[in-house]
Amino acid sequence: MIDFIASRPSSFDNISQAIVWVYNHGSIKKKESACVSIPPQLVKKDNKWYWKTDLAASEPYWNGWFKDLNNDFLSVPAPKLLILAGTDRLDKNMLIAQMAGKFQLVVMPSCGHQIQEDDPKSTANILLTFLRRNRLLPD
């Protein structure tokens, strides 16, 4: 996260510049998605566009957010689905649990960090299929 924040420009001359940066950085892999989701994340001050949220200010909370998250996820007594753009961040326990059938893993390598924005239709279809298969939708 630190590397991402360090690489992220603090301001832009215009919204289009921000959209191009996000797209080129690969956070969002579809330009149409970036055009929709990036403008609301910016605020104009003194003829420059800045991120509304200072991600670096949240650093003291990062460990708390992720501490034991994998174990908490695996301990939920319900069907589980994990949708990722890549498996590079899965730790050993999660890989073993996935191979043991503890949760369903779907990898969408054509997507960036915002999977639901890059491919909303496929994401919705994956969720609906999971919910139907596990009888989690009302009749």
Residue 67: per-residue pLDDT: 77
Residue 115: per-residue pLDDT: 92
Upper half-sphere CA count for residue 116 (Cβ side, 13 Å): 4
d(CA 81, CA 79) in angstroms, rounded, equals 7
pTM of the model: 0.79
pLDDT tens track for 103-114: 999 999 999 888
Query: Locate tokens 């730790």: which residue?
Result: 91
CA distances from 32 to 6, 15, 19, 109 (A): 25, 14, 9, 18
**Regions of the chain short of the pLDDT cut 70:** none
d(CA 8, CA 34) in angstroms, rounded, equals 15
pLDDT tens track for 21-47: 999 998 899 999 999 999 999 999 999
H-helix or E-strand spanning residue 28? none
CA distances from 65 to 34, 52, 79, 87 (A): 26, 21, 22, 20
Measured at the CA of 121, the angle between CA 117 and CA 127, to 5 degrees, comes to 95
